[in-house]
Chains A and B, each alone.
Chain A
Amino acid sequence: MKLNRKDILGIRELSVEEIRLILDTADSFLEVSTREIKKVPTLRGRTVVNLFYEASTRTRTSFEIAGKRLSADTINISASTSSVVKGETLIDTARNLEAMNPDIIVIRHSAAGAPHLLAGLLRQSVINAGDGAHEHPTQALLDMMTIRSKRGRIEGLQVAIIGDIAHSRVARSNILGLTKMGARVSVAGPATMIPRGIENMGVIAHTRIEEAIRDADIVMMLRIQTERERQNIFPSLREYAQYFSLNRRNIELAKPDALVMHPGPINRGVEISPDIADGPRSIILDQVTNGVAVRMALLYLLTGGDT
């Protein structure tokens, strides 16, 4: 089976078979990162450009390591240092890159649809590393891989996603992926952060964290952004932390063997208490490890490798 598409723009377009293929391939790539020489020659001579219009250490580093472990040449472009500051449009930047003939462009941008714009114009493969509040497919894939590796399956699991759902691309991609793979998804957050009509995506929405966490197998906490205070979405971080963070008391509502996830970076004490973040239920660091494997799998599958 081969990944018969040029780009990875979102979970929305992926079929269940494609998601399985990516996760299975990622499983095989986990092993490469455990070797002493963490490199295979598979993408030797290929060029991967990481075009990050939004600051991100974690995702960008993950993509960079993934590319390098496949022996690809990886180039990082971050908006603040580049011609973007001089007013170059996204399309012009992309066209200039295209003329230098890379193989894959990984883009993170604050505007939803930016990767789609590029994918339509460029012949190179485009991977969406996060577009506005729309999708973050590689995050959802690594989250699903982590769940699958810990629980053996995704189907039938009860997953709670907690936080600013309205502004979260991680939430959207995970909702799409987990529901596709047969999980039961609940979301919870302050009413101002739950988008109207979210039930249409196949989830149950709550405005109290306890209702979503109850009997959950997986609890996924989202990062809360401090800018939201100023937009009158929510009164203060203090109130948020008081009523919507995951702590040692409310985690008891979940199943006894429930696991805790977070896409990072964590605001300790805001959305998750430190003892939970570092505790035995936390699989947050597994997410990071799996992130490299998933990204390696995508780079591999998009450059014509078969599995």
Chain B
Amino acid sequence: MTLVLKGGRVVDPSLNRDEVTDLLIENGKIVKTGRDLHKANKKASGIEVLDLRGKIVVPGLIDIHTHLREPGFEYKETIASGSAAALAGGFTSIACMPNTNPVNDNRSVTEFIRRKTAECGLVNVYPIAALSVKSEGALLTEFQDLRDAGAVGFSDDGKPVMNAALMRRALEYASSLDMPIVAHCEDTNLSAGGVMHEGTVSAELGLAAVPSLAEETMVARDLLLAEYTGAPLHIAHVSTAGSVRMIREARARGVRVTAETAPHYFTLTDGELRGFDTNLKVNPPLRNREDREAVRAGLADGAIDVIASDHAPHARTDKEVEFDYAASGLTGLETSLSLSLALVADGVLSLLSLLAKMTVNAAGVLRLPKGTLAAGADADVTVIDPAREWVCDRALFRSRGRNTPFHGRIMRGKAVLTVVGGAIRYRDI
């Protein structure tokens, strides 16, 4: 089937392109861009032409950090519901973390995820497999076997790899396969029992707290390990000023490190926690103003290359309990884009720069053949209406998780069309 996206502002960071033009899609591939493409294709039956004046046309957005909960925690989310949420959020490709049940530490679970993805036929789902068996941090998993089953990277996310010797070996082994290790940096001895950031707010509230140190000591360690082994390291959910600073310095020294942050770390601070809203309980925790500003600065100067939502859906029963006992995480796929577009409105990033962090840079970390609108590329396209104002309503979420702290917030900017492999899978125009 043939699709012409007409008159939109095509912004493609991979090609450094930003111009008003048409986009022609045929048989699941990008054919070309140019003017009046619909006229040229008179022969095609089943040609659909969409007038996208005023809209922004970008490579399908990629979210490399999500938790789809299947297998094992289907009451929180499934691959299907998570994929539907992704489409509504404008994402055409997502990567899912291995902290399922059973943990994705062997090929059968990876193959299960791939099979389910194919059955759903919604978005591209790329499994990140566990770094250690059961993510227990003791024994390496079978990296090559997992790669052959479809895994695109390795991580024990949800937990850190406390044993530096194991992390070293993981980096070395993955490096020889040119596959990334995604590090969840947290020293669990320093963070033990903590439920929020350690600072003036936690001093007031009397909640057990996690110092920035818990993240920063591990970031420092992992940067040194990456430097020593020469292996590619990707640091997940960066939240503190110290982490940003160290990543920036390491990169300047030539360390092969990439880093991501999630929208809540550049939008919210620990001050919001005074109301004990469990939807604000995340790991790493929301930090203070200085940290938030440092994360924003890190996005601006490139220290942080990728924005990834860390989509963590939870059921009501996991969240509607005392703050200490509530599960950590918030549902992110359906709010990520709007919150990220605010960075452009606030002058922190240019549109091209922002989109790079959600397309080409993200694809680069996991070495995915995605994130571009070059001729011949897969027709994964997202259309954004930058001016669309909408109110975040958790009841309308496609994710099973309703745990968002943004319920009721007026958002500006939204994905209005999501095309995967040439097929329109989400439409809001």
Contact = CB atoms under 8 A, between A and B. Distances in A.
A228 B104 CA distance: 38
A132 interface: yes
A132 B317 CA distance: 21
Nearest to A175: B204
A69 interface: no
A201 B204 contact: yes
Given A109-B322, A111-B324, A197-B200, A133 B206 contact: yes
Give the size range of B's interface with the partner. 10 to 19
A117 interface: yes
A112 B324 contact: yes
A89 B206 CA distance: 22
Interface in B192-246: 198-200, 202-208
A195 B196 CA distance: 14
A172 B317 contact: no
Interface in B299-339: 317, 320-325
A169 interface: yes
Interface residues of A, number: 26
B200 A112 contact: no
A133 B204 contact: no
Contact of A132 (B198, B200, B207, B275): B207
A25 B200 CA distance: 34
Contact of B206 (A90, A167, A197): A167
Interface in A105-125: 109-114, 116-117
A134 B205 contact: yes
B323 A111 contact: yes
Contacts of B321: 89-91, 117
B320 A91 contact: yes
A113 B276 contact: yes
Contact of A196 (B203, B207, B208): B203
Contacts of B205: 112, 134
A163 B419 CA distance: 62
Nearest to B274: A12
B203 A197 contact: yes
Contacts of A112: 205-207, 276, 322-324
21 contacts: A90-B321, A91-B320, A91-B321, A111-B325, A112-B322, A113-B276, A116-B275, A117-B320, A132-B324, A133-B206, A133-B207, A133-B208, A134-B205, A166-B206, A167-B206, A168-B206, A172-B206, A196-B199, A197-B203, A198-B203, A200-B203
Closest 8 A/B residue pairs (Cβ): A113-B276, A133-B206, A111-B322, A197-B200, A195-B203, A111-B324, A134-B206, A113-B323
Given A113-B324, A201-B204, 11 more contacts: A91-B321, A112-B324, A117-B322, A117-B323, A132-B324, A135-B206, A195-B202, A196-B199, A197-B200, A197-B203, A198-B203
